[in-house]
A = this chain, B = another copy of it.
Amino acid sequence: MLISRKMEKMVGGNTAIRQMFEEGLRMARKYGAENVYDFSLGNPNVPAPPAVNESIRRLVDTVDSVQLHGYMPNAGYPAVRAAVAESLNRRFGTDYGADNIVMSVGAASAMNAVLKTILDPDDEVITFRPFFVDYNNYVENYSGKLVLAETDEKFLPDMEKLEKLYSPRTKAVLINNPNNPTGVIYPAEVIQALADSMRRAQERFGTQIMLISDEPYRELAYDGLEVPYVTHFYDNAVVCYSYSKSLSLPGERIGYVAVPKSVYRWEDIVSGIIISSRVLGMINAPSLMQHVILECLDTDISQNVAVYDKHRQLLYRILTENGFEAVYPQGAFYMWIKAPIEESAFVELCKKHRILVVIGKAFYGEGYVRAAYCVSEDCIRNSAPSWKAVAEELGLKKKEA
């Protein structure tokens, strides 16, 4: 057999996702795309800020082609790394230099490069349920083991249960803040408690444990909430970032990883991340987009955030008015909706009424489904009768006005 045993299983498992995707296409053909309310994908529907395309035009007109599209050091253009560092220092009071930043092919490849740098086979990475589905695969890429920690009723880390999960093989704790799929933001006191807990574990085992913060949704925080900057709480913390959501460039694969000087032997970690990016085949972050980032670092994206905020409130109102319970999102663009019946039956019932949501089990969460509200306002508004029909079929009690 040509295919590997491991991949054979993954290809088999993938069929379910593919079937769902194909189901969506089939429904769009049958009912018309505008009559299918697809909340299944985290694909930003707001355009990139005008500054992005203006920057591309200017770069193409003024920068030499070999410089614009050519190789640069694997870590990225020194000027881009320096500018990202300075921007972060201004915004978060950090102390980054260009050498602390490695430009990456989005946040997912940044995380892969970090994990490849630190994991030996059977090393453990702790993360909190529910979590982004591919974290498991990222850790398994390096023969590591993902250890599942619990969250409380507010979907914040359960510190007591966490204590029992550390081992001498714990190499990292991985968080996603703001969180996909719950929309929760871990506040400063949670990050502080997590940092304290990790320091105690480091002392107990005489090891170094990295806090990896996956932050593609950092700027998507509502109601004036702040996303704490992890490196202020814990020395061995790194941040993986993507411009996918903030600049609406998810297809372009551009992000970075920030490794502060407080990280144990940070220069070797940075070298490891650069080598990992190279040998995994990413080589470097796309060159034109690096130039774009340099010009768009301080772009005002409050208009785009306001759009998501409006969608958030609109969908939440529709849901709760019809008697559904959901976590009111503090950040990102996901609504974590309690399934009033068994989840897969709920997903099917929604589908019957032309609503597509993702089952919570896909995120190792139970009793919930995820609706991504990074869709058009019309889609949300027009989905109201369908949500109403689902609620009626379930006999949900309407919320009093």
Contact = CB atoms under 8 A, between A and B. Distances in A.
A65 B48 contact: yes
Contacts of A56: 56, 60, 288
A43 B70 contact: yes
8 contacts: A2-B236, A4-B119, A14-B271, A52-B65, A109-B282, A134-B278, A251-B287, A288-B288
A370 to B, nearest CB: 16
Nearest to A274: B14
Contact of A120 (B5, B65, B286): B5
Given A7-B276, A281-B110, A286 B253 contact: yes
Given A2-B264, A141-B280, A251-B287, 20 more contacts: A2-B118, A3-B272, A4-B118, A7-B116, A7-B272, A7-B275, A8-B268, A10-B275, A11-B271, A14-B275, A46-B66, A52-B65, A53-B60, A65-B248, A69-B251, A108-B283, A134-B278, A251-B290, A252-B286, A280-B280
A105 interface: yes
Contact of A281 (B68, B105, B275, B279): B105
Interface in A152-190: 171
**Interface residues on chain A, size class:** 35 or more
Contacts of A116: 4, 7, 141
A398 interface: no
A91 interface: no
Contacts of A4: 116-120, 123, 142, 272
A57 interface: yes
Contact of A57 (B7, B60, B142): B60
B43 A272 contact: no
Interface of A: 1-8, 10-11, 14, 41, 43-48, 52-53, 56-57, 60, 64-66, 68-72, 105-106, 108-113, 116-120, 123, 134, 137-138, 141-143, 171, 208, 210, 236, 248-253, 263-265, 268-269, 271-272, 275-276, 278-284, 286-290
